[in-house]
Amino acid sequence: MVFANRNQLALDYARFPGGIFNPSLTQHANAVWGMARCEPHDQAARNADKLLNFTPMQAVLFRLDDSLAVAEAHYDVHFENFPSLPWRAEDYRLFIFQDQLFCTHVLWVQGYNIGMALSRVDEAARTVTLIRPITIDGLQIQGIEKNWVMIPNVDTLHCLYSFYPEYTLAELTNLETARFRLTKNTKLQPPTNGLADKMISLSTVPQRIGDALYLLVHQKDNEMIYRDFLVRLNPDTLAPEAISQNPVIAGGDCEGFWRGYLTAYSLLTLSDRAVVSYGEGDRYAGVATAGVEDLLAVPMVALGR
């Protein structure tokens, strides 16, 4: 396993019995910033009493030092411009676009379907300001929880809506209304690296390494163990070109509520280090590191379209 060096982040887990997990990292303002969900109640309690899903949202914004230890953590995050009805946000993925810090996240308003939304993040003011729920012209968005990731470039922002079996991509048309238009909807050929011929989901915002873009995608096996694979995208067409023969990080030995739930949320490169942030067992937050050269050396197989 490439990312075998895993370390739990020193956050205030005792404060949140339901866990601090699914952390996302990005480089912003000459620092590595992260954001993670904070749950007063665990998933079993929220399943038993649906109203617990709509208790006031809490999250942590944190900064990591050069050793990837927590240098500061702020639990007083304020959510602004969110609905007046009871709502829930979770599973933040940070990214930088036009020198500003944004995140996508699940948005669930009581009485409505689950959707995905776009928000601005101000790490100094410790605010998350909702822009709008994301809409994609030309695509019928599923009203269920799913993973989307953004692909930011200098002047363009793409939304990767799904990976497999359909590779679905959209391009931003209006930032202030979080409106996108469908640009690609292609069926990929079944994987040849041992993955089951079923949904493969998105994990991380793509990162440029050398002359290509790389991201992680995941699939749960029959024992509910998450396994993440490295994918290479063409930086010009954003089409998927190859996927790793084997997983680069996986669950199965997780602490927390679920041993199989190692959920990757970001991939960064810091000099010669590749860093993955992940949730562990829907209870803890961690980071794993590997050499960039080691990551790029993993055997890959072509993705057919």
Residues 227, 26: Cα–Cα separation, whole Å: 22
- pLDDT at residue 295, rounded to an integer: 98
Q: What is the pLDDT of residues 263-275, one digit of tens each?
A: 999 999 999 999 9
Partnered with residue 302 across adjacent β-strands are 242
Residues 6 or more apart whose CB falls under 8 angstroms from that of 153 comprise none
Question: What percent of the chain is predicted at pLDDT more than 70?
Answer: 99
At residue 294, what are phi and psi to the nearest 5 degrees?
-65, -40
Residues 46, 53: Cα–Cα separation, whole Å: 6
Nearest to 174 by CA among 131, 217, 214, 211: 131
Whether the per-residue pLDDT at 145 is higher than 70: the answer is no
- pLDDT at residue 105, rounded to an integer: 96
* pLDDT band (50, 70, 90) for residue 69: very high
Tell me how long the chain is.
305
- pLDDT at residue 144, rounded to an integer: 73
For the chain, which residues make up each domain, given as ranges?
5-302
Q: In what order do the strands lie in the sheet with 100-109?
A: 78-80, 127-133, 114-122, 100-109, 87-97
Of the candidate CATH numbers 2.115.10.20, 2.40.128.260, 2.40.40.20, 2.60.40.420, the domain formed by 5-302 belongs to 2.115.10.20
- pLDDT at residue 86, rounded to an integer: 94
Nearest to 238 by CA among 292, 157, 299: 157
Cα angle 94-266-205, degrees, rounded to a multiple of 5: 65
Q: What is the pLDDT of residues 13-31, one digit of tens each?
A: 999 999 999 999 999 999 9
Whether the per-residue pLDDT at 305 is higher than 80: the answer is no
Please write down the HEC assignment for all residues of 85-124: CCEEEEEEEEEEECCEEEEEEEEEECCCCEEEEEEEEECC
Whether the per-residue pLDDT at 156 is higher than 70: the answer is yes
Instruction: Compute the mean pLDDT over every residue in the chain, rounded to the nearest whole number.
Output: 95
First CA to last CA distance, the chain: 28
DSSP state of 90: E
Whether the per-residue pLDDT at 283 is higher than 90: the answer is yes
- pLDDT at residue 165, rounded to an integer: 94
- pLDDT at residue 146, rounded to an integer: 74
Q: Residue 82 CB: number of other CB atoms within 10 A? A: 17
- pLDDT at residue 112, rounded to an integer: 86
Q: Could you tell me if 90 and 105 are in contact, meaning their C-beta atoms sit under 8 angstroms apart?
A: yes
- pLDDT at residue 304, rounded to an integer: 74
- pLDDT at residue 224, rounded to an integer: 94
Q: What is the pTM of this model?
A: 0.96
- pLDDT at residue 130, rounded to an integer: 98
Residues 6 or more apart whose CB falls under 8 angstroms from that of 204 comprise 93, 149, 215, 216, 264, 265, 266, 267, 276
Residues 85, 110: Cα–Cα separation, whole Å: 7
Give the DSSP H or E segment for 243.
Answer: strand 240-244
At residue 51, what are phi and psi to the nearest 5 degrees?
-65, -25
Whether the per-residue pLDDT at 251 is higher than 90: the answer is yes
Inter-CA distances, 107 with 78, 147, 182, 284, Å: 16, 12, 21, 22
More confident residue, 198 or 143: 198
Whether the per-residue pLDDT at 236 is higher than 80: the answer is yes
Q: Could you tell me if 18 and 284 are in contact, meaning their C-beta atoms sit under 8 angstroms apart?
A: no
Mean pLDDT (whole number) for 227-240: 97
- pLDDT at residue 83, rounded to an integer: 95
**Residue 292: HSE in the Cβ half-sphere, 13 Å Cα cutoff:** 12
Q: Is 56 exposed, middle or buried (0-12, 13-18, 19+ CB in 10 A)?
A: exposed
Question: What percent of the chain is predicted at pLDDT more than 90?
Answer: 90
Strand-strand pairing, 78-80 and 127-133 = parallel
Cis peptide upstream of residue 165 (ω within 30 degrees of 0)? yes
